[in-house]
Amino acid sequence: MFDDNGSFLLAIFEFFIFCAWFMGLFWVFGDLFRSKDLGGFGKTVWSIFLIVLPLLGMLVYLIARGNGMNERALASAADLQSRQEAYIRSVSSSGGGSRSATEEIASAKSLLDSGAITAAEFDRLKSEALGGSRATSAVA
């Protein structure tokens, strides 16, 4: 298949160029469909242009819309990060950060029923839970 080392190196170089072009094509399609300032008809026209004439279409896209690709990618990453932080906050707060008075009393009651705490400790935990809920409702 390969006559000498030169043809093998040329085949590796051609494979590298093909992979780089393919990655660039995915990058352009990703930016095209991430863009909020372009409507459906514009995205369709760009998609057809990129499919019919891929190399020329990619070069024209980079010239015409390449200056905003970085801003759209950064905005998408910032949006993803803010949504991830909001999800983490919602999961961590419902896991045990601030529980309602009812949850705290139910937890203390189950400890009392299992014999882990005494009735006096249960009364203390109950009054703390009720006092904490009154304090937060008075602040709100």
pLDDT, tens digit (0-9, with 9 covering 90-100), for 72-119? 889 989 999 999 999 988 887 655 556 778 888 888 899 999 988 999
20 pLDDT more than 90: yes
pTM above the 0.85 mark? no
Q: How confident is the model at residue 131 (pLDDT cuts 50, 70, 90)?
A: confident
- In terms of Cβ atoms closer than 10 Å to its own Cβ (0-12, 13-18, 19+), residue 76 is middle
Q: In the prediction, which pLDDT does 101 show?
A: 81
pLDDT at 96: 52
Helix H or strand E segment including 67: none
* Cα gap 127→129, rounded to integer Å: 5
Mean pLDDT of the chain: 84
For residue range 50-80, what is the model confidence (pLDDT) as tens digits? 999 988 999 999 898 888 888 888 998 999 9
Cα 28 from Cα 56, distance rounded (Å): 12
Contact by Cβ (8 Å): 22, 47: no
Q: What is the pLDDT of residue 14?
A: 92
- How many of the other CB atoms lie within 10 Å of CB of 46? 22
pLDDT beyond 60 at 130: yes
What string of DSSP letters covers 92-115? HIIIIIS--HHHHHHHHHHHHHHT
> How much is the average pLDDT of 39-53?
92
CA 113: distance to chain centroid? 43
Closest CA to 34 of 62, 71, 61, 59: 71
